[in-house]
């Protein structure tokens, strides 16, 4: 049966927006401490990212390889936050962490710091907090991906800022296998640099499989031995540098291809509001003792669409023999039969159900909420074509009066479309049900 997947939505923004003065915050760090008069100043910029919703993970513009770690794509709600426009540089690192011994070279002040473990990043943000008085932290994985996609203004690029990796980031084909000064490539829609390539970036979360949930501001699993890093690096090819790619390492790992950038949520942010309640992403409906799974489809008129109806459920509802194995997807039914099936289901569960239209099915497929129907895969055990199934049912209808005389009853279709043996345009499509939302 179909898996649950997804595609980017138009993110809902918190309105009204904050004043322009709060859209970007410039933070200055003095090399030898807050009260020093002889230290050099190092500044970096924090870009505000308005809260909203988006589809996180393997959406259609990302690489089409079956990478299990970024599936399923799923709906995520986020509150407003700030994220640094660049990765933490060598110069900023040593200004905040004087005397901290690092493995990486110290002669490239504008290159991103690397050879830094997740544990060392925690010490960096703790010291940065004490210097600036602001609650810095690493971004969560969801925040990182939302920012990399461009936030509410996303143009749904494959990489952070474009569809050509070399134009937006230092990757294997252009980096010379080493880091480069930050902010030299094209930024993304939010003005963030190097979220593709240069160095991968530590996130706050532990690594784990994605879970379908409408809980706002997800934080990853509570347990686990690995931490997430995102964004590709200078030694990755473009095929491994798209936005949804996930990496995971032990928190004590320090490698040349891993760095980080900082995030921030301002205390008392006036735009942090309760996230609007959304319907559950999935729901199950039990019909005649069999469970039918539905997935939420966000649209102008949102609805739930079911998985493909199997022959077993079709037989239970319609009281006729299924033309194929019970676990096969039911096909070969006319429009009239499909409507009758939906009406029977509605009466059974006391909730209005409708036959999914081709437009609703295609919309769900395009959003990767359901998988396209592939007859050669779904019916690898099926011997008969749709036309053969219809011919068999038509013949059974003609023979029923004779077989009933000897006590053997065959299914008797009463649909005039079937009796006339006129193939319906919907016959080859699997049957799905829809529950409309107001």
| Tokens coding 2 | 């179909």
Tens of pLDDT, residues 278-313 = 677 788 899 888 889 898 887 778 899 998 888 888
Instruction: Please choose, from the candidates 319, 308, 139, 140, the residue with its C-alpha nearest in 3D space to the C-alpha of residue 219.
Output: 140
Give the pLDDT of residue 374: 57
Give the pLDDT of residue 3: 33
Query: Rounded to whole angstroms, how far apart are CA atoms 29 and 102?
Result: 20
Q: Of 5-14, 88-97, 191-200, 245-254, where does mean pLDDT reach its minimum? A: 5-14
Strands (E), 279-342: 282-287, 290-297, 303-306
Give the pLDDT of residue 55: 86
Cβ distance 257 to 234 under 8 Å?
yes
Instruction: Convert 181-205 to b/e letters by CB count within 10 Å (16 or more is b).
Output: bbbebebbbbebbbbbbbbbbbbbb
Residues 19-23, mean pLDDT to the nearest whole number: 74
Q: pLDDT: is 388 or 58 the higher one?
A: 58
| Tokens coding 366 | 């395009």
Give the pLDDT of residue 47: 95
Residues 373-388, mean pLDDT to the nearest whole number: 46
Place 423 in a pLDDT band, splitting at 50, 70 and 90: very low
Taking the CA of residue 151 as centre, how many other CA atoms within 13 Å lie in the half-sphere pointing to its CB?
20
The pairing of beta strand 200-206 with beta strand 258-259: parallel
Tens of pLDDT, residues 198-245 = 999 999 999 988 877 667 888 888 889 999 999 999 999 988 899 999
Give the pLDDT of residue 139: 97
Give the pLDDT of residue 433: 92
**Contacting residues for 268 by C-beta, under 8 A, at least 6 apart:** none
The helix/strand/coil state of 206 is strand
Give the pLDDT of residue 422: 38
| Tokens coding 241 | 């540098």
Cβ distance 7 to 55 under 8 Å?
yes
Q: Of 154-163, 192-201, 411-420, where does mean pLDDT reach its minimum? A: 411-420
46: exposed, middle or buried (Cβ count in 10 Å: 0-12, 13-18, 19+) = buried
Q: pLDDT: is 429 or 61 the higher one?
A: 61
Give the pLDDT of residue 220: 86
Give the pLDDT of residue 54: 87
- Judged against a pLDDT cut of 90, whether residue 111 lies above it is answered with yes
**Total residues found in the chain within this entry:** 438
**Contacting residues for 7 by C-beta, under 8 A, at least 6 apart:** 55, 59, 60, 73, 366, 367, 368, 369
Give the pLDDT of residue 416: 37
Can you give the residue ranges of every domain in the chain? 20-264, 282-436
What's this model's pTM, rounded to 2 decimal places?
0.64
Fold (topology level) of 20-264: 3.90.1580
């Amino acid at each position: 049966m179909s898996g649950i997947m997804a595609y980017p939505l138009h993110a809902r923004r918190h309105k009204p927006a904050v004043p322009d003065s709060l859209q970007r915050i410039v933070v200055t760090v003095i090399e030898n401490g807050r009260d020093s008069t002889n230290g050099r100043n190092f500044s970096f910029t924090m870009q505000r990212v308005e809260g909203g919703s988006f589809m996180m993970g393997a959406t259609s513009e990302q690489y089409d390889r079956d990478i299990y770690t970024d599936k399923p794509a799923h709906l995520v709600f986020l509150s407003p936050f700030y994220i640094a426009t660049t990765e933490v540089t060598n110069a900023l690192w040593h200004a905040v962490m004087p005397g901290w011994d690092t493995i990486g070279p110290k002669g490239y002040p504008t290159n991103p710091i690397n050879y830094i473990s997740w544990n060392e990043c925690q010490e960096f943000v703790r010291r940065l907090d004490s210097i600036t008085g602001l609650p810095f932290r690493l971004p969560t994985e969801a925040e990182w991906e939302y920012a990399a996609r461009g936030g509410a203004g996303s143009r749904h690029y494959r990489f952070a800022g474009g569809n050509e990796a070399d134009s937006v980031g230092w990757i294997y084909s252009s980096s010379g296998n080493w880091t480069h000064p930050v902010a030299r490539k094209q930024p993304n829609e939010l003005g963030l640099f190097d979220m593709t390539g240069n160095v991968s970036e530590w996130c706050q979360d532990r690594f784990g499989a994605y879970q379908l949930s409408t809980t706002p501001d997800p934080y990853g699993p509570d347990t686990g031995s690995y931490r997430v890093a995102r964004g590709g690096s200078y030694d990755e090819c473009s095929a491994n540098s798209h936005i949804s790619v996930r990496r995971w390492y032990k928190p004590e790992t320090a490698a040349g291809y891993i760095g980080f950038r900082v995030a921030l949520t301002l205390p008392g942010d006036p735009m942090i509001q309760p996230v609007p309640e959304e319907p559950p992403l999935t729901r199950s409906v039990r019909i005649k003792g069999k469970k039918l799974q539905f997935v939420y489809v966000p649209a102008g008129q949102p609805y739930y669409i079911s998985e493909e109806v199997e022959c077993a459920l079709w037989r239970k509802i319609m009281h006729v023999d299924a033309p194929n194995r019970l676990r096969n997807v039911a096909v070969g039914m006319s429009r009239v039969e499909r409507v009758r099936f939906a009406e029977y289901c509605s009466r059974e569960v006391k909730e209005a159900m409708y036959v999914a239209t081709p437009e609703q099915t295609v919309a769900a497929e395009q959003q990767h909420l359901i998988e396209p129907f592939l007859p050669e895969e779904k019916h690898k055990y099926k011997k008969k074509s749709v036309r053969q199934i219809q011919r068999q049912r038509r013949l059974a209808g003609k023979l029923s009066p004779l077989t009933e005389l000897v006590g053997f009853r065959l299914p008797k279709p009463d649909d005039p479309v079937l009796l006339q043996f006129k193939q319906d345009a919907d016959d080859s499509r699997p049957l799905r049900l829809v529950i409309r939302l107001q």
